[in-house]
Amino acid sequence: MTRSNRREAGRRRLAMRLPQMRTLIMQACDPWQLELFEAYQMAVEARDRLRRRRFNLKLVREYDETCVEIEQHVMGAMPLPTSTTASSPNPRP
Query: What is the per-residue pLDDT across 52-76, written as a single tens digit (0 to 9) for each?
Result: 887 788 999 999 999 999 999 999 8
The DSSP-derived string for 37-86 is: HHHHHHHHHHHHHHHHHT--HHHHHHHHHHHHHHHHHHHHHSPPP--HHH
Query: Has residue 27 been placed in a domain?
Result: yes
Query: Has residue 90 been placed in a domain?
Result: no
Query: Between 27 and 86, where is the model more confident?
Result: 27
pLDDT for residue 33: 93
Give the domain range for residue 11.
3-78
What is the reported pTM? 0.79
Query: Has residue 59 been placed in a domain?
Result: yes
Query: What is the per-residue pLDDT across 75-86, written as a single tens digit (0 to 9) for each?
Result: 988 876 654 434
Counting the structural domains of the chain, the total is: 1
Query: Has residue 57 been placed in a domain?
Result: yes
